[in-house]
Amino acid sequence: MKDDKSRISPSPSKPILLAIVSLTAAHWAILAAGIPILDNLPYWKYKLLSTPLLPGWILIVLATFGLAWAVYRNPSKPGVKILLFILLGTTIQYGLAFAKGQGLNGVRDRMVSFGHAEFAKAAVEQPGDMLWVAQHYEEVAAKLKYGYVGSKPPGTLLFYMAHEQLSYAIDPAQDHVKRLENLRTFASLTWPLISYLVLIPLYYLAREISKDPQTALLACLYYIAVPSTALITLHTDQALYPLLAVLPVLCSFIAYRKDSLWLTMPCGALLYFAVYFSFGLAAVGVFFLAPVLDSKAGDATPTMKRLARYSGGIFLGGILLHGAAAIFLKYDIALRYAGAWANHLAWKGWENNPETYFNAGMTNLIEFSVWIGLPLAVCFLAGLSHALGAFRGKNTDAAVYFNLSLAGIFVFLLVFGKTKAEVARLWLFLVPFVCVAVSQFIQRRSWPHRAALSILLMQIGTTIFTLRYQDFS
């Protein structure tokens, strides 16, 4: 059978685990000793920063991770486990923030003192309702006092405005300062939970690919142990974009398997909806190829009718939502993209020469790797190496094409993204897919539970060391 052909033989895992342990230990040593190796990389943003931590909260975080592992190993129903992972992940996120000794301000500060706090201020300052802002977004984005608002499509600001209106419904303050304070508090109490709702579609996506519920649960477990998802809080990149990215990809795998036009149309609509919040999320459309390529490599070559239903349904769903946005929201996606791209290039100060591409690319890969945790990064690279070998040997399956699609997205972003660092936040929407790839790799290698646990423990350690000696700012 095709699944058996692509399974890695149970070869010794010691070399990979040794590489993971060695690199992780070196990373911890660099942080703890304050060695500015990473700080000296071109365009490096997240400098070394010593932050004293309260031991009690760290113990709570460690105990919560222990409980998460126990949930993973428990024979309960997957739905119960996912719900518990969402709650435990939220607890971990709060515990790490509270460990800095600032109480809820450890969470709120992201919407007070940092660049994207501008969205919260803009949400409070808008004179009209959400529909007015959606229909006049270019006018809002053109205001000189707004820098970041112009870099996004309307969805991100509307997300902030929706939460501002919810906080206003709870406490209808008239003063702008008080309303902004209420929004920050409300977001601090809701966004950490929202950020882990992605675990629901993540589980089903991983199960679609692996056909194994336990492997899918491992992907969810690793997601809550990623430093960037736990520490880069109160940003839509962390709270919302991963969810928006996973939904259309999950829909594509299900739609192709069921060969239904009515299921493929939501794929295009969901992708367009995601792009309404961030243009970068369009990159996940590459995953739409994975189920088709897997089918072509299998025993049943897809018919032209099936391919037409799949591709046509995706296009139709996207174009229908585009038409609705243009008519009812007066949304000009081309105009908004041009404005956002110009804003991005001015913000990042990109120089179009080989040196910039090389330096930015090197820094971006290193930054993303250390912020997702080197254990996951090494496993992903090892899995990608297997996928390339399986592709050359025509020994492929859905997981192989999934990994190759993800690698293709990284290459695309490195070449065309024109981003100098800060990808720990900007590429957060790809973290769920990395977790899927890593869980598949561990499943294929038939690693024992103690190996999976070892990776989890090193991920936890990396998260705490990052919080203690670097943190996100």
d(CA 224, CA 90): 9
Mean pLDDT estimate for the chain: 91
CA distance 388 to 406: 12
CA 415, 417, 422 angle in degrees (round to 5)? 120
> Which structure tokens are listed for 17?
């685990």
Domain ranges of the chain: 2-112+195-469, 117-188
Predicted pLDDT at 350: 81
> What's residue 326's pLDDT?
96
How many C-beta atoms surround the C-beta of residue 185 within 10 A? 18
* pLDDT band, very low/low/confident/very high, at 301 (cuts 50, 70, 90): low
Pick the more confident residue, 45 or 380.
380
pLDDT 10s digits, 398-413: 899 999 999 999 999 9
In the predicted structure, residue 9 carries a pLDDT above the cut 50: no
Question: Which residues, 6+ apart, have CB-to-CB distance to 384 below 8 Å?
Answer: 403, 404, 406, 407, 437
Assess contact for 54 and 101: CB atoms under 8 A.
yes
Assign 189 a pLDDT band (cuts: 50, 70, 90).
very high
At 149, the amino acid letter reads: V
- Torsions phi, psi of 322, nearest 5? -60, -45
Q: CA 197 to CA 244: how far, in whole Å? A: 10
C-alpha to C-alpha distance for 333 and 453, rounded to whole angstroms? 45
Whole-model pTM: value is 0.94
Residue 2 has pLDDT above 50, yes or no: no
Q: How far apart are the C-alpha atoms of 118 and 114, rounded to whole Å?
A: 8
List the alpha helices (DSSP H) in 115-240. 117-125, 130-135, 137-141, 154-170, 176-194, 199-210, 213-223, 227-231, 236-239
Residues 6+ apart with CB under 8 A from 213: 78, 207
Query: Distance between CA 35 and CA 18 in Å, rounded?
Result: 23
Residue 5 tokens, joined:
């052909």
Predicted confidence at residue 299, as pLDDT, reads 52
Residues with Cβ within 8 Å of 410's Cβ and at least 6 positions away in sequence, in order, are 430
Comparison of pLDDT for 397 and 244, the residue scoring more: 244
Residue 432: which pLDDT band, with cuts at 50, 70 and 90?
very high
